[in-house]
Structure 1
Amino acid sequence: MCELITITEAANSRIKEMMASSETPANYLRVGVKGGGCTGLTYGMGFDEVMNEEDQSFETNGLKVLVDKESAPLLNGVVIDFKQNLMGGGFTIDNPNAIATCGCGQSFKTATNAGTPSKDC
């Protein structure tokens, strides 16, 4: 499978550092989407040891990435980057499928999926 998500060199390097220092062994970076946040859908990234049968997988610069089948259409074309500044650093996500995002950039909705916004936003 071709790369569903683009992970920049800076993000790839930071993710590999985090995996190496993790107390739990991890073989994969798992990227997904779930309902919530102010706009309806939130991004999730974490480490996983196991690939599930319905996961889509690809490798980019030595990093093995998993995306569940429900999240894949919402993440197609996404670019994940890592930015460092005076306040620290963090991951940024540029999603061409998003038609609206919240102010902090952590949640979004698409033309075909409004998700389930959190009531506390």
Structure 2
Amino acid sequence: MTQVVEITEAASFQVKEMMRHNEEEGSYLRVAVKGGGCSGLTYGMGFEPEVAETDDQYEQHGIRILINKEDAPILQGTIVDYKQSLMGGGFTIDNPNAIASCGCGTSFRTAKKAGTPENC
């Protein structure tokens, strides 16, 4: 399977630290899209112990990644990075398919999928 989402080295280091801290070593990292937010879609990331029938999987920087086949077209070409600053750190998601996002930057929509917006 071709990679849908690119996980940078900085993000993969942080994911591995989180896996170790939460005793999730050996789990998969799921990158997902859900309905909601001001613009209609939001991102989700979490750990899963098993692969579902509807998942595509691949490995990058030693992290096993799961993407639901339905989410793959929306996430194609997305880059997940981790940025550190004086105020702390956090994951950033750069999705070339997003045509609009809300002011807080946590939700988006694409040309083909608007999602289900909520009031902010």
Scaled to the shorter chain, the TM-score interval is over 0.9
Q: 2:105 — aligned with what?
A: 105
Matching residue of 2:86: 86
- Please give the alpha-carbon distance, in whole angstroms, between the structure 2 residues aligned to 1:95 and 1:61: 20
Tell me the equivalent position of 2:31. Answer: 31
State the alpha-carbon separation in 1 of the partners of residues 18 and 38 from structure 2: 28
For structure 1, list consecutive stretches of 5 or more residues without a partner in the other structure: none
TM-score w.r.t. the length of structure 2 is 0.96
Amino acid at match of 2:15: I
Superposition CA RMSD, Å: 1.1
- Residues 60 and 99 from structure 1, CA distance in 2 versus in 1: closer, same or farther, beyond 3 angstroms? same
Identity of aligned residues (%): 59
Please state whether the residue corresponding to 1:50 is helix, strand or coil: coil
The answer for unaligned runs of 5 or more in structure 2 is none
Number of the residue aligned with 1:58: 58
Following the alignment from structure 2 to structure 1, what is the Cα–Cα distance between the partners of residues 84 and 38? 25
The aligned residue for residue 22 of structure 1 is 22
Contact 1:36/1:117 (<8 A) preserved: yes
- Normalization by structure 1: what TM-score? 0.95
Q: Distance in 1 between matches of 2:118 and 2:26?
A: 30
Q: In structure 2, what residue type is equivalent to 1:79?
A: I
Which digits, 9 at most, give the CA deviation of each residue in 1:10-53, with x for residues without a partner?
A: 00000010001114565100010010001100000000001001
Q: Name the amino acid aligned to 2:96.
A: P
User: Which residue does 1:13 correspond to in 2?
Assistant: 13
Q: Report the AA paired with residue 34 of structure 2.
A: K
Give the distance between the partners of 2:58 and 2:45, measured in 1 at CA: 15
